[in-house]
Chains A and B, each alone.
Chain A
């Protein structure tokens, strides 16, 4: 009985549904534990004049109050540039920037003390938007360029050109479990930290640096997260380090669990982007040249912004060949919380910028946007080199799109929508098909490594640990499946332990959709070597040669001599008695990937995950209200490792993306205070937003030979399919725009739709006499 390729329930499902899975704040408190609250800067950019902590100190139950001067080691860190502080010493750079940590014996006392802290700040000039940053020349890092061909010449020679701007807003992760950690001080400067983190190794190094102790004194463990989505890749480290700091100072366990409003106000989000573009194309809609300048809003520090920008640039071709392109990118520095990784990591913004251009070309040429998309798709054996020089191989998109076009009845529905929009005065419908080609691998080469520890015990059970963290995506389940099949033992006999830095060192974050690809391969490296030793030991017992032995169905045997076989349990017991090592550490590096960000050239990706979506939208012309009555998704998952979990990634990613492009709007006021700071004011998709008709299929692609067991990474790519919903809104508005290109930023909220419609109506009324074609 093998389990790879089967729909095995999530390994924690049974305890999840019973309420028996333990998250950080479910760990019973120790009697001497303290609870932390953060007092943050009341202004977006300011200089600390004075702090009044007396009233807070006097609160009954308050145990300790800490500021930057209490940090024994470094107060500065950051994954790319060391420009972040744990606690602001003098200058604060966003509203909520932590200034003071309050530790108290109870949550209530900690909150009461926090409310009594007073800070006197001298406000400094602050900027918040991409436009303001460009005007002020406020950037993080250098401009990046990816270039191919000669854009200037090609634009000059183009039959048509279009120029425009697209504003893309951010997105709050809204993981259900907020940032949380508990730190337990040990003897001799040791520190054990339970953290809800996608990157235990980074938490370990930051905790060690803040405390001024060697890395080997700090153990960081994560059993699971209540959601991550990129928000706990770098930004789990701050709270964890705060807990560790207080635990070290007080020599008592310290717990920090951000309340929802604080979490949303303090942590970074998906980067807002502004895209400026000029595109040249022929009357058939084929693009000859693209000049695209991307500006991301990085917030107050670098965090991962340069890498996010890079992935946005690497995805702004999406699935389309660009013979001439110049793609530039800059990270803007503003006084907002530092924006960070979020599922897709810049890819969605790059793809949205490109799909917007295709919609606009279609409107301009009065053609169906699908025709324009097909005319520009990467070819097979020709027109297949990306602007950064990687060849697009195993390109299934032409076939995949054709399959989806049929199954979603795209053409029939297009005619229906044409007829509907011509006669309805109350509603508008729109339709779009958008593809995705998402590059798999970290674009930072170093991170494409993983290690795993596999222990086989003498009762025939196995324990695996890797650097992969479980945030709901099912990486633990998949790795258990892989190890069980490779050792040929039942799935139930394999356990996967909490991810911890004392078992797996120097690990990469669980990110870039790579969790299973990297860590699963490392685990198989370990099991492979255990099997080699066991096979060598078993060969004489079975009178077979070691290389012919198979591990399956809980036995070891030579398929050519099935009458002689040895039970796995029997074999490991005998091997142990003969002093054969049953544990192994495995290691894996992704072969062949490399990218030079200075030249903008290379082969950053091992392979691409492809898919496409058809989305239909319905808009109420009176109110702007948007509904998504039907969506069809077709996803190339290679050969799925676990179709149930893979399907969950596709649907979950799509709906999360649908929130980004429709109802989720991050709103700051003019002073940089987050107004959308809780689910009352920030609206992620609800169960009633799931499309009434929602068809989700896997595309049959057994040829993805480069990937693990010919499966494909699915963590992020499906999110980008949601851009079809946004494109369908743009398409719907085009019907009301009398031939003009309707502007639309992202997200397409009901408010924006109504205001755009009202404006189009007024413009149309003005244009009514004389009727004139758009002169561009």
Chain B
């Protein structure tokens, strides 16, 4: 493949990342949120692979593979197990309704575009124009954490922020040093397991994963 084609492929992958971030926000059902989260992991792995081909950093091939296995398969599977065990796969309850959330999300994309503009002008990398999208996906993950009531959707939001940060790192600097990446990947894995335990405890103590209910009960 030529460089132009690779560059276009990266553009497509970046816009897919943005689309998936919006899809994560727009879902009503917990299981479809999870499916989109898995899709985000796969697209992230694909992007990493593309950047690896362009830049020729061999480490990136390894981290693409690791992303695919960890974020495309293992983490979604862990969360799926939690959802199945707790029988919470009903509605996602947003604090603000969907169209308003979408409008806020669009505004966030605009802001990140504005913020990233001067950095993009300085950068010499082939991936320089994906930076705005990378920052936007971080924002959208944060928005998802803020606007959801259920603990599980918040955790998926947190994990999607991590995905977005990884995407930012790959796009802005062609990846972090291997040791950092390994550490982060391991941390996220451990975090997912701890969240699982945490959910079980919350469930046992408060009989709910809805944070409003938990707040009410802990006041008493």
* Co-assembled chains A and B: no
A residues touching B (Cβ–Cβ < 8 Å)?
none
B residues touching A (Cβ–Cβ < 8 Å)?
none
